[in-house]
Amino acid sequence: MKYRIAIAAWLAITATATPGHAADPRYPDWPCTQAKVPEISLAAVWAGPPLDDVSGKWKDDAKVSALVAKLAARRTPLEEAQKAITEYLSGAADKTASGKLLFAGLFESLNAQRSQVMNGLERVTRKQREAADKIRADTLALQALQSETPPDQAKIDDLGNQLVWQTRIFEDRRNVIKFVCEVPTAIDQRLFTLGRTIQQEIE
């Protein structure tokens, strides 16, 4: 009976959209309903002075590098990050130069963080596709074993238990994917908010 439930669960899985059914053919492994935007556009998150003259230079300043790491970490509450920006820039000799340096670091760091998350989502999607193929094959094999006369109950039990476990892992991963799909958008919003805080301080 429990193996019939496993088969029913698998049929339910295949009836819904499995990861890899991407809306955009350019990104076949993208599992999220949100459109994939590979990189954050600078113009979308920064309306301050040009950053061309400070690109990459933020890494040479130990204080800025440490602050960027703290601000970019999602475990740092947004309000705490905004307060740290205000405190840093209020003591800067050149607010504009310091603000540009700080945002350049944030932009580079959060874009890289976002890319890591998105690459991870696509890796998991590929694993899900492989898992789906395995579950499908095992489901057919289980049905064949159950049709044999006489049935080999030991083999049925082994394969049935394996199928139950595989289906559970598949579902757990799918739930994780739904959660992680929200992360790139959260990173976008964090960068926009922190960029706005920096701009307000240097205006």
The pLDDT value given to residue 203: 81
- What is the tens place of the pLDDT at every residue in 112-134? 999 999 999 999 999 999 999 99
In this structure, are residues 50 and 130 in contact, taking their beta carbons and an 8 Å threshold?
A: no
Structure tokens at 54: 């400070």
* Lowest mean pLDDT, pick from 16-30, 44-58, 170-184, 189-203: 16-30
**Who wins on pLDDT, 183 or 54?**
183
Whole-number Å distance between alpha carbons of 45 and 186: 13
pLDDT score recorded for residue 86: 96
Q: Tokens standing for 91?
A: 């003591």
- Scanning the chain, the segments in alpha helix (DSSP H) are 2-15, 42-45, 62-72, 78-90, 95-147, 153-180, 183-202
Sequence-distant contacts of 136-139: CB under 8 A, at least 24 apart:
136/10, 136/14, 138/162, 138/163, 138/166, 139/6, 139/7, 139/10, 139/163
pLDDT above 60: residue 21: no
Highest mean pLDDT among 10-14, 159-163, 181-185: 181-185
Q: What is the pLDDT of residue 16?
A: 47
**pTM value?**
0.82
Q: Which of 14-18, 111-115, 176-180 has the lowest mean pLDDT?
A: 14-18
Q: Which two tokens stand for residue 161?
A: 């238990």
Tens digits of per-residue pLDDT, 32-88?
Answer: 998 999 999 999 999 999 998 888 889 999 999 999 999 999 999 999 999 999 999
Rounded to the nearest angstrom, the gap between the alpha carbon of residue 86 and the centroid of all alpha carbons in its chain is 29
The DSSP call for residue 18 is P
Q: Answer for the pair 127, 20: CB distance below 8 angstroms, yes or no.
A: no
Hunting for tokens 């955009």 — which residue is that? 24
Phi, psi (degrees; rounded to nearest 5) at 23: -75, -30
Binned at pLDDT 50, 70 and 90, residue 23 comes out as: low
Residues 6+ apart with CB under 8 A from 117: 180, 183, 184, 187
